[in-house]
Amino acid sequence: MRLRYQLMIPAMMAAMAVQAQSIQLDNHAVPAGKKGAAAGKLYDRQGTVLKSAKLAQDTSGLFTISKGQLKLKKNAKLSNDPASFKYAVTVENGGAKEDFIIVRDDFHRNKIVAHRGAWKNNGGSQNSITSFRDAVRIGCEGSEFDVWLSSDGVPVLSHDPHIGGHTVEETPLATLQAVQLKNGDRVPTFEEYIQEAMKQNTTKLVLELKPSKTGRGQELAQKCMDLIRKYRCEGWMLYISFDYDICKKVNAIDPFAKVAYLNGDKTPAQLAADKIWGFDYNWKVIDKTPGIIADAHKNKVTVNIWTVNEADKMEAYLKAGADYLTTDEPELALEKSK
């Protein structure tokens, strides 16, 4: 009986973590220069609009809540000041309070996602802070990166399950960060990546949550979402995974998270039924499935295609209506997206 109780504790804690956010916001960004622009609607855990929610704190003095919608005041608009693009607010409803950061929406709309950052034609290592900075510098809409759990439970970046001769999931963070990468880079944590990303508001983070061979996929998703909530960086985030249960876990924690599935074995209708925001399929899947892009849009599912490195394919997929292209050649793709 005691053993059974002990086994129940992790499941109970996970369930409690999923339910931690009592007030949810469906969008965290506001465009500049538009008076009275809306950030998003406020909901409870059951998906009901919180029409009685109130603004408990707003240091900018720019926001209000009307009929459950967080928005700028009637005559207020965000400035274009490059040094000021984050706005902290606290929302109250029935005694519950939640903090949010609203980001001014200057994010690019060119459809190009740098695969593991912009590393191939620059000096940085894949999945490094340097390659992310280069993706921002050249103007990508998104920068994709891969995250695993270290053996001591820290979300850490690496594309492959091994790095520097170490198995990521079996190695503590300190050992992983001692690995020497190209150009003086080191293996970053997801937390460090968030901190870097929030210094700008033009390139989004595309977080790939890696399937776990040690059975810790759900733990990885929870810890990443906990960090996102800690920094209140939802406005910067997109999510992808080959593990469908991880996709659903992220959605369970944040029903408004923009989550795309990578594996290629679900139809747009199946994704829509599970409230998965999009698919991010390999170009071979796209080529073998005529009409899948149109079918996705019919089901209100977004389309990302990986890894598209050839100019003719970039042109074809953009013409066909792809919402995003993930590429190792972001400079070339940016030219094609014009």
Instruction: Give yes or no for residue 15 having a pLDDT over 60.
Output: no
User: Is residue 211 within 8 Å of 203, Cβ to Cβ?
Assistant: no
How confident is the model over 250-308, as pLDDT tens digits?
999 999 999 999 999 999 999 999 999 999 999 999 999 999 999 999 999 999 999 99
Distance CA 73, CA 114 (A): 36
Residues 24-104, CATH architecture: Sandwich (2.60)
pLDDT score, position 182: 86
pLDDT at 30 over 80: yes
Is it the case that residue 19 has pLDDT exceeding 80?
A: no
Q: What value does the mean pLDDT take over residues 125-140? A: 98
Could you tell me which residues are beta bridge partners of residue 70? 40, 65
Q: Look at residue 40 and give its three-state secondary structure.
A: strand
14: pLDDT strictly greater than 50: no
Q: Does 11 have pLDDT greater than 50? A: no
Are 307 and 282 in contact, with CB atoms under 8 Å apart?
Answer: yes
Which sequence spans correspond to the domains of the chain? 24-104, 112-337
Q: Hunting for tokens 């209100």 — which residue is that? A: 300
Q: pTM for the full model?
A: 0.93
Cross-strand bridge partners of residue 237: 205
d(CA 190, CA 227): 8
Under CATH, which architecture does the 112-337 domain have?
Answer: Alpha-Beta Barrel (3.20)
